């Protein structure tokens, strides 16, 4: 797909001097430019810039990673008051892993950045669309050709009326009726996170790339490449009720999103995100290490794209505020899968040993200005990559040995097919990837029962709960009564750990469901039975004291001056929420809490174990 701005030949009356400003403001040509200008624009419109959040969602067991720019803001879209006000803007790290195997083509990514702006019951369709149009077409900002802009609006159905209001705003801005398309629910409707909740129509913006139409029915949203989707304004104006009906929200919201990588590719008139400065320095390092050349042939290009994408994503996960490390479960499993897939494609390029440190260092260099946590975590990123590379190289040696042991029997089988359960055993027991099993099988004239492998792998996912990851469209952290109690209990646990183990304790992440809490923290050694018992006693004493839980809004500096825990820079512009539990605990937090501790019940630690080097993990319940 061609991602240029427009075909300049369509507008021959414009001289070249005019075109340089008319199509694109020359200073917005890189991801850094776009990120900066977007925030500058919305701050000028009264929006507070808030900090993007961790890639590891806090207290949301439904997903492994933050999958959309609006994900961390769901509680506020549902009505909770935001400390920074009603107009917000930010850039957010995101990861989607539902189609890892598709990465390798010219468009798919696992890690990506989203630009967003929000109205929480402030402005609505008219103002949102007018701001979108100004940012897209004004020479001061993106400077795109207004004649190349097409938009889509919700066509309406039996349940919700046609979104004529948005269409009328677009017409008032000069977009003619023939470039305003009304599309059905599957194209222009943003549904609730679950069966019920806030939802509404959206209006999407497309740029005509100048490619020929694929036929008479070609329109925005068509996959032929003529139309490039650049932005999406979501208007959350309805609440879907349990009976399936819709009622208007008294306080409708606006949620918008623009992908940095794809937009920059369009602004630079590149056919692929991998041709932009976001990836080109990383690709250059892969070329240097491997001797391969990007652009020479598709198999080589595919391997280089996979390595560059996966090393970028792995670097961001390892350098995150709530970093996880490679493991066989959850987010750690995804991280391990990405690293090992990158290494496998390094082998395809002729790289036999460790090599990921150099391209990962380039990733940190590229992004440390926008994401300082990468610079702070550089040593950890390199160390964990090197450790996982060593593990995988050992895995390859062991797995190849096991394969050789099985080979005579496999060759004697008339079917010449490796059963899926056997391929999965190589994977599950020895960490041997299916793709390498397939490669070795092909070298000996054998095939692999991939369907059988997938079936065995699916069973493994269900048992290990890796399958808890699902595509996120709206995402909601659980705010049920029990989850709220356990969330409050983590504050008591955090303080009790400090009192028992020392001030070196630092929260490294948490995951809370209605059944239990999981809390990761820095500590160099296994806790003793006496230490575990003391933590339980402290927490239960504060529960018995029935302490009040009070929320105050203040600056982050004020919170830290008061001694509040704030390890993850959970700030929203200049203001944060601080939850005090009596005079026992103070912590910066945005999650749900009870009003007093007496309702919590009895706190019990069910397990204490290692999470990663220097990090311990506690699981606990309220009885």
Domain boundaries, the chain: 8-274, 279-416, 481-622
Residue 557's pLDDT band, with cuts at 50, 70 and 90, is confident
DSSP state of 100: G
CA–centroid distance for 279 within its chain: 18
Which of 442, 281, 428 shows the shortest CA–CA distance to 362? Answer: 281
How would you write 186-218 as a 3-class SS string?
A: HHHEECCCCCCEEEEEEEEEEEECCCCCCCCCC
Look at residue 5 and tell me whether its pLDDT is greater than 50: no
* Residue of 263, 269, 346, 334 whose CA lies nearest to 300: 346
Q: Looking at residues 359-387, what average pLDDT do you find?
A: 94
Ramachandran bin of 492, using left for φ above 0, alpha for ψ from -120 to 50, beta for the remaining angles: alpha
Q: How confident is the model at residue 193 (pLDDT cuts 50, 70, 90)?
A: low
Per-residue pLDDT band for 479 (boundaries 50, 70, 90) equals low
Q: Is the pLDDT of residue 195 over 80?
A: no
pLDDT at 18 over 70: no
Residues in the chain, total: 623
Of 12-21, 256-265, 269-278, which range is least confident? Answer: 12-21
Number of H helices and number of E strands within the chain? 19, 18
The answer on pLDDT for 7 being more than 90 is no
How many other CB atoms are there within 10 angstroms of residue 438's CB atom? Answer: 17
Give the pLDDT score at 19.
37
pLDDT of 465 higher than 70? no
pLDDT above 50: residue 473: no
Q: Which of 286-290, 322-326, 590-594 has the highest mean pLDDT?
A: 286-290
Other residues' Cβ atoms within 10 Å of the Cβ of residue 397: 10
Q: Averaged over 207-216, what is the pLDDT?
A: 88
pLDDT bin (cut points 50, 70, 90) of residue 63 is: confident
pLDDT band at 568 (very low <50, low <70, confident <90, very high): low
Average pLDDT score over residue span 178-191: 93
Q: Averaged over 381-397, what is the pLDDT? A: 89
Rounded mean pLDDT of 308-335? 90
Q: Does the structure show a pLDDT above 90 at 542?
A: yes
Q: What pLDDT is recorded for position 488?
A: 93
Q: How many C-beta atoms surround the C-beta of residue 49 within 10 A? A: 18
Model-wide pTM > 0.75: no
Is the pLDDT at 141 greater than 80? The verdict is yes
pLDDT confidence tier of residue 338, bands split at 50, 70 and 90: very high
- Mind listing the pLDDT tens digit for each residue in 221-260? 888 888 989 999 999 998 888 888 888 888 899 999 999 9
The token pair at 70 is 């609006």
Higher pLDDT residue, 568 or 429? 429
Please choose, from the candidates 409, 421, 412, the residue with its C-alpha nearest in 3D space to the C-alpha of residue 449. Answer: 421
Segment 410-434, tens digit of pLDDT: 898 888 999 988 888 888 777 777 8
Instruction: Compute the Cα dihedral for 283, 284, 288, 294 and give only its sign.
Output: positive
Question: Which residue in 40, 155, 144, 16 sits closest to 89, CA to CA?
Answer: 40
- Report angle CA 107, 109, 110 to the nearest 5 degrees: 165
Quickly state the pLDDT bin for 61 (edges 50, 70, 90): low
Overall average pLDDT of the 260-272 stretch: 90
Instruction: Find out whether 566 and 560 touch, Cβ atoms under 8 Å.
Output: yes
Query: If you average pLDDT over residues 206-227, what whole number do you get?
Result: 88
The per-residue pLDDT for 194 is 59
Q: Do domains 8-274 and 481-622 have the same CATH topology?
A: no
Q: What is the mean pLDDT of residues 563-586?
A: 74
Least confident stretch, 37-46, 303-312, 342-351: 342-351
| Mean predicted lDDT score pLDDT of the chain | 85
Average pLDDT of the residues in 88-111: 89
pLDDT for residue 342 is more than 70 = yes
Specify whether the CB–CB gap between 466 and 488 falls below 8 A: no
| pLDDT for the residue numbered 16 | 32
Confidence of residue 274 (pLDDT cuts 50, 70, 90): very high
Candidates 80, 74, 78; CA nearest to 62 is: 74
Residue with more model confidence, 50 or 510: 50
Question: What dotted CATH number matches 8-274?
Answer: 3.30.930.10
Looking at domain 481-622, which of 3.40.50.720, 3.40.640.10, 3.40.190.10, 3.30.980.10 is its CATH number?
A: 3.30.980.10
DSSP 461-517: HHHHTGGG----SS------HHHHHHHHHHHHHHHHHHHHH-TT--EEEEEE-SS-E
Cα torsion through 59, 64, 68, 70, rounded to 10 = 0
Residue 17 contacts by C-beta under 8 Å, 6 or more apart in sequence?
A: none
- What is the percent of the chain where pLDDT is above 70? 90
**Higher model confidence: residue 494 or residue 11?**
494
Interior CA angle at 571 toward 141 and 318, to 5°? 85
């Amino acid at each position: 797909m061609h991602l240029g701005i427009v075909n300049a030949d369509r507008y021959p009356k414009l001289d070249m001097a005019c075109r340089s400003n008319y199509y694109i403001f020359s200073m917005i040509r890189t991801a850094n430019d776009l990120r900066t200008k977007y925030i500058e624009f919305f701050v000028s419109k009264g929006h507070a810039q808030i900090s993007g959040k961790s890639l590891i969602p806090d207290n949301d067991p439904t997903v492994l990673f933050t999958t959309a720019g609006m994900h961390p803001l769901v509680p506020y879209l549902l009505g909770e008051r935001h400390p920074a006000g009603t107009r917000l803007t930010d850039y957010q790290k995101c990861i989607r892993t539902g189609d890892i195997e598709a990465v390798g083509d010219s468009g798919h990514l696992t890690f990506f950045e989203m630009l967003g702006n929000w109205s929480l019951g402030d402005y609505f369709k008219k103002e949102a669309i007018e701001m979108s149009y100004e940012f897209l077409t004004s020479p001061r900002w993106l400077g795109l050709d207004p004649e190349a802009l097409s938009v889509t609006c919700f066509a309406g159905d039996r349940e919700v009326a046609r979104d004529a209001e948005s269409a009328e705003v677009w017409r008032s801005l000069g977009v003619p009726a023939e470039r305003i398309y009304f599309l059905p629910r599957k194209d222009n409707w943003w549904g609730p996170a679950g069966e019920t909740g806030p939802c509404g129509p959206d209006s999407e913006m497309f740029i005509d790339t100048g490619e020929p139409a694929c036929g008479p029915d070609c329109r925005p949203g068509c996959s032929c490449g003529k139309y490039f989707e650049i932005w999406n304004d979501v208007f959350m104006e309805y609440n879907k009720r349990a009976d399936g009906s819709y009622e208007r929200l008294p306080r409708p919201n606006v949620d918008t999103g623009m992908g940095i990588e794809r937009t920059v590719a369009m602004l630079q008139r590149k056919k692929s995100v991998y041709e932009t400065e976001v990836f080109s320095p990383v690709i250059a390092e892969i070329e240097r290490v491997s001797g391969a050349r990007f652009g020479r042939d598709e198999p080589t290009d595919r391997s280089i794209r996979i390595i560059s994408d996966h090393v970028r994503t792995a670097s961001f996960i390892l350098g995150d505020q709530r970093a996880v490390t490679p493991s066989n479960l959850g987010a750690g499993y995804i991280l391990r899968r990405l690293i090992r897939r990158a290494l496998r494609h390094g082998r395809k390029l002729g790289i036999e040993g460790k090599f990921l440190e150099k391209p990962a260092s380039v990733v940190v260099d590229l992004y440390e200005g926008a994401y300082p946590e990468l610079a702070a975590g550089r040593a950890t990123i390199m160390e964990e990559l090197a450790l996982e590379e060593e593990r995988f190289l050992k895995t390859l040696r062991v797995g190849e040995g096991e394969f050789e042991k099985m080979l005579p029997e496999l060759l004697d089988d008339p079917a010449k097919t490796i059963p899926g359960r056997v391929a999965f055993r190589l994977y599950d027991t020895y960490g041997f990837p299916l793709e390498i099993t397939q490669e070795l099988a092909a070298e000996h004239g054998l095939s692999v029962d991939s369907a059988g492998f997938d079936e065995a792998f699916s069973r493994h996912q269900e048992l290990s709960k890796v399958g808890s990851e699902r595509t996120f469209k709206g995402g909601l952290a659980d705010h049920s009564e029990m989850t709220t109690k356990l969330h409050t209990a983590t504050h008591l646990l955090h303080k009790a750990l400090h009192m028992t183990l020392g001030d070196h304790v630092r929260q490294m992440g948490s995951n809370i469901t209605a059944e239990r809490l999981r809390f990761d923290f820095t500590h160099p050694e296994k806790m003793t039975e006496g230490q575990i018992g003391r933590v339980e006693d402290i927490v239960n004493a504060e529960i018995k004291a029935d302490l009040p839980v009070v929320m105050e809004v203040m600056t982050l500096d004020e919170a830290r001056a008061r001694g509040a825990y704030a390890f993850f820079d959970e700030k929203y512009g200049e203001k944060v929420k601080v939850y005090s539990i009596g005079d026992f605990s103070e912590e910066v937090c945005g999650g749900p809490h009870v009003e007093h501790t007496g309702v919590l019940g009895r706190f019990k630690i069910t397990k204490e174990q290692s999470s990663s080097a220097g990090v311990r993990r506690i699981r606990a319940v309220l009885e």
